[in-house]
Structure 1
Amino acid sequence: MRNLTGIIVLVLLFGACKTNNTKKTLPIYGQRTAVTKTVNGQQVTDTDYQTIPVFKFVNQYGDSTGSKDLEGKIYVADFFFTSCPSICPIMQRNMLNVYNEFKSTPDFKIISFTIDPKHDTVPVLKSYADKLGISGNSWWLMLGNRDSVYNLAAKSYLVAVSEDSTVAGGYMHQGYFVLIDKQKRVRGSYDGTDMKQVNQLIDDIKTLQTEPAPAAQ
């Protein structure tokens, strides 16, 4: 009987150790290619993942900012316009939960790209930010060239945006919050109008924060 009890205890301990050592990892989205690299004098096959390309726009303070300012940071990107009568108010209200959770975290940012550069000038974006209660540099509202923003949305962040006179506000866009890691890779996409998915985003940001830095090559 003692031997049986001992075996049960060992099985339980092994199971507990196995559970504690299992860490959640997030998938990596986008295109990927196999590449051969030389590491420590040996040929190894590795995977190159699609990353967000270089961009440079202007934020609500009139500062020129872009991908260079996001190096080594986790961030969430979305696409909106200030006069949006449909999903944007819900999205930005939900994004405030993300902002309030991480606004004091130095290696995290939120980047909201306007898809209506004609109307959403720097003063308009600043007024919009003030109404939301955004301050500091944790959340940038970005103004850029229309074609550059639209291409960035579709090809890099995998979000569909377009001008559409048949919909309210004159623009169509998906309401995704896109999670980007410190290596500029897409790690998740969440419905910004669904608070359950936004809460999942918050949890996934915390998971990324514990992810080890890639090994130097």
Structure 2
Amino acid sequence: MKSLSWCGPVAAALALLATPALSAQVVDLSLTDPDVDGFIYASGAFDWPPEGHSATATLTFSGLALIDAVFTGNVEERKTWWDEAIGGVWGNEYSLAYDCSLTGGCVVVTSPGTASGVLSTPLGFDRPCTPTTLGDCSSHFFPQFATFDGVFRVSPAARAPYSVSLTISDFTAVPEPAGWAMMIVGFGLVGSMLRRSRRGFAAV
């Protein structure tokens, strides 16, 4: 009897296509008032795209000069494999953390005052788990949440008013070729290295 190893990927792809589109998220940002050195800190949380989907994140700022920002995300991956030494099927879960910055090349400034990037989570896969299995038998991603942290430095002439907004939208299915579940790619977003020391910003 022939193996039906293609059933898993096909079923996963069909399930992906059947997944309803997610609603856009307008992230409620927490903003601090400028400190004595003109620094504003912003933070917020949003849902990471589910397995096999991507989303566009757009940061819009006004009344201030963008110095730095970074997006960080937590994506849980569950893997299953055949362990010949043990003689059975084994698995584990991994919590993967990512961040993206302007200097890292995964964020694009689309216009003065606006920057955006793409977040994506590969489509997982299933296949029979036997002693002849090469590599993992299955791999699936379980996005949790992502956080945005930003640092903005305001010029003396533009201390007020100021505003910062973050929108996560355009959730779409992203079927990828053989590279599904190899790694999280294409995540993105705004700014540069948030967690630089204040001394580093002062040098700008």
The interval holding the TM-score normalised by the smaller chain is: under 0.3
Structure showing the higher strand proportion among its residues: 2
Q: Which has the higher contact order (CA 8 A, sep 6+)?
A: 2
TM-score w.r.t. structure 1 length? 0.20
Structure showing the higher helix proportion among its residues: 1
